[in-house]
Amino acid sequence: MNESTDLRRKLTDKIMTVVIALAFLITLVPLISTVCNTLELGVTRLNWDFLSNTMKGVIGGRPPFGGIYHAIVGTSLVTLGAAFIAVPIGILAAIYLVEYASEQKNSLVRCIGTLVNVMTGIPSIVAGLFAYAFFAIVMGPGAVFGFSGSLALSVLMIPTVVRSTEEMLKVVPQDMREASLALGISKERTICCIVLRIALPGIITGILLAIARIIGETAPLLITIGTFDSLNVNLFSGRMMTLPVYIYGQYQEGLATCSPQAILDGCIETIRSQRAWAAALVLIIIVLVLNIIGRLIKAKLTNKSGK
């Protein structure tokens, strides 16, 4: 009987191992396919001129072919603005939920938890409509500028920061808090100097993952900041261009019109598609770099705390 049970357990273990391995391989298929397809189609247009020029003065498929410099700068500024809003709010909310409200079940705690859960699944276009309506009320209709997009992205980023920070704070052993309080250290200083310091690698990783999650959003930015063909570094004035909106705009415009003579002069009918794929490749590289940076920071901080 025991041998039969042991044999059945081993067989079940092998079957589940095979099923999980197959599920993992199936998951990799669309990921690898997407990356390879983007790499194949995007690398043809990806060069220094494409990275260092804007779309100002570009007409159809004729030279000059333009680039994404203004979109890269716009994406960086809008994303940093979103992080500036979302990170402090998310971390402070997580600290309150874990350190101060863990033993309370009042209406405020339940309300915060419900709001975070609702915000996790909120459609991105709703966040864009919220930001547009907010600044339309404050500044009047037609207020379109970069910081409005940052506000929309921060709405999407906050729940990810809250949940990741909350989980990292829960991982910190309760004995560390009790030992610090037993030495006469205040609760606020315990949280700042001990709890947050131990949880910092995971918090930073969560923040970078949240940034990687919002950096590819298109719908809220179409509503809040629109499109622009030149460089704009002022978040509080004028339209801006971001990489997701750039990709959408180039793909939407379709083929360029090139006469036989224009083709001889260098006109490329598929130039917009090439620009879209190259910009998509750049966006994937940025997200990949953010993930690598997050892992490196986590490993370095973990090693320091371990010492």
Residue 173 falls in which region: left (phi positive, over 0), alpha (psi -120 to 50) or beta:
beta
Q: How confident is the model at residue 241, as a pLDDT?
A: 92
- Do 274 and 268 touch, CB atoms closer than 8 A? yes
Q: Is the pLDDT of residue 277 over 90?
A: yes
For residue range 194-214, list pLDDT tens digits in order.
888 888 888 988 898 889 889
Q: How confident is the model at residue 25, as a pLDDT?
A: 92
Residue 297's pLDDT band, with cuts at 50, 70 and 90, is: confident
Percent of the chain's residues with pLDDT above 90: 32
Closest listed residue to residue 86, CA positions, set 157, 18, 142: 157
Q: How confident is the model at residue 120, as a pLDDT?
A: 80
Residue 21's pLDDT band, with cuts at 50, 70 and 90, is: very high
> How big is the chain, counted in residues?
307
Burial of residue 215 (CB within 10 Å: 0-12, 13-18, 19+) is buried
Residue 226 falls in which region: left (phi positive, over 0), alpha (psi -120 to 50) or beta:
left
60: Cβ–Cβ under 8 A, 6 or more apart, which residues?
Answer: 256, 257, 258, 267
For residue range 87-123, list pLDDT tens digits in order.
999 999 899 888 887 666 677 777 777 888 888 888 8
Q: Which of 45-59, 148-162, 244-258, 290-304 has the lowest mean pLDDT?
A: 290-304
Q: Which of 97-106, 224-233, 240-249 has the lowest mean pLDDT?
A: 97-106
pTM (2 decimals)?
0.87
Q: Is the pLDDT of residue 76 over 90?
A: yes
Q: Is the pLDDT of residue 151 over 80?
A: yes
Q: How confident is the model at residue 153, as a pLDDT?
A: 93
CATH numbers and ranges of domains, the chain: 48-306 (1.10.3720.10)
Q: Report the 10 Å Cβ neighbour count for 16.
A: 10
Q: How confident is the model at residue 237, as a pLDDT?
A: 85
Q: Which whole-number Å values give the CA distances from 252 to 142, 245, 247, 256, 272, in the listed order?
A: 24, 10, 8, 11, 9
> Of residues 287 and 6, which shows the higher confidence score?
287
Q: How confident is the model at residue 145, as a pLDDT?
A: 86
Residues 142, 235: Cα–Cα separation, whole Å: 16
For residue range 157-180, list pLDDT tens digits in order.
999 999 899 989 988 888 888 888
Q: Is the pLDDT of residue 78 over 80?
A: yes
Q: How confident is the model at residue 172, as a pLDDT?
A: 87
